[in-house]
Amino acid sequence: MQPKLQGKVALVSGSGRGIGREIALKLAHEGASVVINDLDPAPAAQTVNDIVAAGGKAVACVGNVTEAGFADRFVATAIDQFGGLDIIVNNAGYTWDNVVQKMTDEQWEAMLAVHLTAPFRIMRAASGFIREAAKREAEAGLSVHRKVVNISSTSGVYGNAGQANYAAAKAGINGLTKAMAKEWGRYKVNVNSVAFGLIKTRLTEASADADAKIDIAGQEIKVGVNPQILKTAEAMIPLGRGGTPEEAAGAVYMFCIPESNYVSGQVLVCGGGRP
């Protein structure tokens, strides 16, 4: 049986680690050529090497998705290296939490930049290719669907205390998703978003170290969740546990395959049954 994404070309931002890496591996396993992105060269190269070693095709486009000019370079990498663009997964991001009275303008603007402005720029950068490709395909009598999957969060659907910035950005990406589904429907582009609940990654893993941090573009960001708080959160999930990055990738994959060609403008909650 031919892989479902054979011959497709995909962009996956933030795919050197965690959920993004698993999305890239899944798409590549199903036949897509994938452009890998990460802030750091090493994890991006590792994901590329793992895909190539498994018989797939991948190249890296290292850089910060919020930087001016990145979106054009990202899209150009797909077209120059693989000759086209069929799937965009806007996954890159992180959290920078605080209660509103302590939240700085920098924290607020950083979340909007990475979770909302960056996906907008990537879609804008891809728009010229998508319009021209759709026109050529229509003239040739071909029906080709392209896919955009924006990564949201249950915080953007239901809100979450201490995440005014993140929740606002993730609610925004759901609005952008619905707008672009209407705008790009004429080009046969399905635009959907997946809102993740508790998925176990380096940002959410249990950690007794209250000072655990990672560096993101020169900014130290607190990571990890108190083990007891994590245990309580998991107990509230009907399935009884947090999700894995592989399961998160599966939810994204569903929006990338031909079976979802008539699904657009939707927000899928991937949260183990917890609202």
Closest to 30 measured CA to CA, from 181, 147, 183, 112: 147
Closest CA to 89 of 111, 66, 118, 68: 118
Look up 166 and say whether it is catalytic.
yes
Which is nearest to 152 in space by CA: 268, 14, 265? 268
The residue type at 13: S
Nearest to 146 by CA among 75, 247, 196: 75
What are the tokens at 143? 């029906």
Q: Which of these, 186, 115, 188, lies nearest to 148 by C-alpha position?
A: 188
Active-site position among 94, 158, 166, 262: 166
- What's the CA angle centered on 204, arms 201 and 206, to 5 degrees? 105
96 touches 166 (CB < 8 A): yes
How many CA atoms does the CB half-sphere of 53 hold within 13 Å? Answer: 7
Catalytic residues: 166
